[in-house]
Amino acid sequence: MDAVEISRFLTGMTLAVHIIFATIGVGMPVFFALAEFLAIKKKSSRYLALAKRWAKGYTITVAVGVVTGTIIGLQLSLLWPTFMRIGGHVIALPLFMETFAFFFEAIFLSIYLYTWNRFKNQWTHFLLSIPVIIGGSFSAFFITSVNSFMNTPAGMEISGGRMVNVDPLAAMFNASFFVRSFHVITTALMTMAFILATIAAFKLLKNKVKEDKVYHQKALKLTMIAGLIFSMLSMLAGDLSAKFLHQHQPEKLAAYEWHFNTESNADLVLFGVIDESTQEVKGALHIPGALSFLSDSSFDTKVKGLNEFPKEELPPLIVHYFFDLMVTFDIFCFVVSGLYVLALWIKKWNPNHKAFLYAILFTGPASMLAIEFGWFLTELGRQPWMVRGILKVQDAATTAGGLQFVTLLFALLYFVLLFSASFVLIRMFKNQPVSKDIEKIESERRGGAL
C-alpha cells in the first residue's frame, strides 16, 4: 500500500471507532435527561435510578469519545497536511464552533455528573442537562458542516491552487449542510434508543433479579417509543438525502443504486451482486420506477447514470452493498419498534413477549451497524475526491515517513480501548441489581426529609 492508501485506511479506522462513541455522545444526554424529567414529574425512584445508571455508563463512553475525537481532530493535519493547508482556513469557522460547543458540553456534563445531590430544587439539576444536550447536538451540527463542505464546497474561489476570497458563512452553510446534519442527529438518537432498548431486553430475557423486572420494562417502553419516533425521522432524513443527492451529487446516488444509463422511470435496485467489468447485476430485486420516485417524487424523473461521468471520477461500486444494509437495518428497527408500540395499544398483545424481546435484542447492534455503513457509503461515495471537484485524495496525503508504524500503533490502541471499555461497562452493571440503587435513592430521600 502506498502513503495515500495507508492514510485513507488509518483515517477510516479512526472514524469507524470514533463514530460509535460520537453517536452515543449525541444521543445519550437526551435519554438520561428524559429519564430524569420523568423521575421528577412522576416522583419515581425507578426513573431516577434509570437516569443515574445511564449517566454512569456514559462516563465511560464519553471518555473514549473525547479521546478518539481529539485523535481525529489532529489526524486531519497529520495525515492530510496539504488539504489542511489549502482548505483548513475555509472550514475553520465550523471547526472552531464545534470546539466551543464541545467545551460547553464538557463543562456542563462535569457539573451534571457530580451534582446529583447538591441542589435543593430537583429541577435545577435537570436543567443542567439542557446545555449538555445543546452542546452535544451543536458539535454534531458543526462537524457535519465540515464534512458537507468536502461534499459540496462553497464560499470560496480557487486561485493558484489555493482557496481564496473565502466567505465563511457560505462555506459553513453549504448546500448539503442541513440535510446531513438532520440525518446525523436523527440517526444518532434512533441508535441510542435501540441500544438502550437492547440492554433492557437482554436484562428481561435473563431475568436474574426478579425485583428489577418492572424497572427494565419501563426502560424498554421509554426507549422503544423514542426509537419508533426517531426511526421515522431517520427515514424522512434518508428520503431528503436521496432527493438532495439527485440534485447535487448524482454520481453518488447512481453508484448507490448501480444505475448506469440515464433514464426516466429508473428502477431501484435492491441487493444483488455486480460483475464490475461487464456492469452485469445478478440476483437483484428491481423495483420499477422507484429510484425516480425516490429522487424527485415522480416516476417520470430522469435520473443521471454512471456512464455520464468520466471513468476516473466514479465512486467505487461497493457502496451499493452498504446502502442496502443501512436501509435494511433501519427498516428492521422501524418494524420492530412499530410492532412493539402497537402491542402497547392492542390489549390482546403482550409487549413483553419473548419473541419481541429477542427481536429487540438485535435492534441496537443493527442500528449501530447502519450508522457505520451509512458513513462508509457516504465517504466512499465521494471518492476519488477529498473536496469534491477541487482536490483529489491522492494529492492530499502526507509525505512523511513512518505511516505504517503509526497505523499499527493506532490499531493496537483502538483494540485496547474497545476491549477495555466493554470490559469496564460490563463490570459496571453486571451483578449490580437496580433494586439496590432504588433502595439507596429512597433512603437518601427519607434522610433528606428528616
Partner 1 sequence: MSYEMIGITVLWLFLFGYIIVASIDFGAGFFSLHAKLFGESKKVNGLIQRYLNPVWEVTNVFFVFFFVGIVGFFPDTAYYFGTALLIPGSIALILLAARGAFYAFENYGQDSKLSWLMIYAVSGLLIPAALSTALTISEGGYLIRTSNDHVDLNWVALLLSPFGWAVVLLSIVSVLYISSGFLTFYAARAKDWKAYVLVRKWFLMWGAPMIMVSLFVFLSLRVQNKTHFDSAVFEYGWLFIISFIAFLIAGMLTYLKKAHGIAFLFVMIQMGTAFFGYGLSKLPYLLYPYVRIDHAVTNDNMAVGLIIVFVLGLVLLLPSLALLLKLFVFDKAYVRGRK
Residue 350 binds partner 1 (CB under 8 A): no
Q: How far apart are CA 113 and CA 407, in angstroms?
A: 35
DSSP string, 289-344: THHHHHHHSSTT-EE--GGGS-GGGPPPTTHHHHHHHHHHHHHHHHHHHHHHHHHH
265 to 324, contacts with partner 1 by CB under 8 A? Answer: none
Return the ∠ at Cα 335 (arms to 329 and 339), rounded to 5°: 150
46 to 65, contacts with partner 1 by CB under 8 A? Answer: 56, 59-60, 62-64
Q: How far apart are CA 450 and CA 445, in angstroms?
A: 9
- The least CB distance from residue 180 to partner 1, in Å, is 20
135 to 174, contacts with partner 1 by CB under 8 A? Answer: 164-169
Nearest to partner 1 of 283, 401 (CB atom): 401
- Binds partner 1 (CB under 8 A): choice among 16, 37, 40, 82: 82
Residue 13 binds partner 1 (CB under 8 A): no
167 to 226, contacts with partner 1 by CB under 8 A? Answer: 167-169
Q: How far apart are CA 393 and CA 386, in angstroms?
A: 5
Q: How many residues bind partner 1 (CB under 8 A)?
A: 77
- Binds partner 1 (CB under 8 A): choice among 131, 305, 364, 381: 131
Residue 264: φ, ψ to 5°: -90, 170
How many other β-carbons are positioned within 10 Å of the β-carbon of residue 442? Answer: 13
Residue 12 binds partner 1 (CB under 8 A): no
Q: How far apart are CA 217 and CA 204, in angstroms?
A: 8
Nearest to partner 1 of 90, 196 (CB atom): 90
Cell for 230?
426517531
DSSP string, 334-350: HHHHHHHHHHHHSTTS-
Residue 343 binds partner 1 (CB under 8 A): no
- Binds partner 1 (CB under 8 A): choice among 66, 240, 284, 314: 66
Residue 122 binds partner 1 (CB under 8 A): no
Residue 423 · residue 64 · CB < 8 Å: no
b/e string for 336-362 if b means 16 or more Cβ within 10 A? bbebbbebeeeeeeebeeeebbebbbb
84 to 113, contacts with partner 1 by CB under 8 A? Answer: 84-90, 92-93, 95-100, 102-104, 106-111, 113
Nearest to partner 1 of 102, 293 (CB atom): 102
Beta strands in 85-202 (DSSP E): 157-159, 162-164
- The least CB distance from residue 322 to partner 1, in Å, is 27
Closest CA to 385 of 151, 177, 164: 151
383 to 402, contacts with partner 1 by CB under 8 A? Answer: 398-402
- Binds partner 1 (CB under 8 A): choice among 22, 79, 220, 242: 79
- The least CB distance from residue 294 to partner 1, in Å, is 37
Residue 133 binds partner 1 (CB under 8 A): no
Residue 260 binds partner 1 (CB under 8 A): no
415 to 444, contacts with partner 1 by CB under 8 A? Answer: 416-417, 420-421, 424, 427-428, 432
Q: How far apart are CA 23 and CA 68, in angstroms?
A: 12
Nearest to partner 1 of 84, 205 (CB atom): 84
Q: How far apart are CA 304 and CA 16, in angstroms?
A: 31
Can you name the residues that pair with 162 across neighbouring β-strands? 159
Residue 380 binds partner 1 (CB under 8 A): no
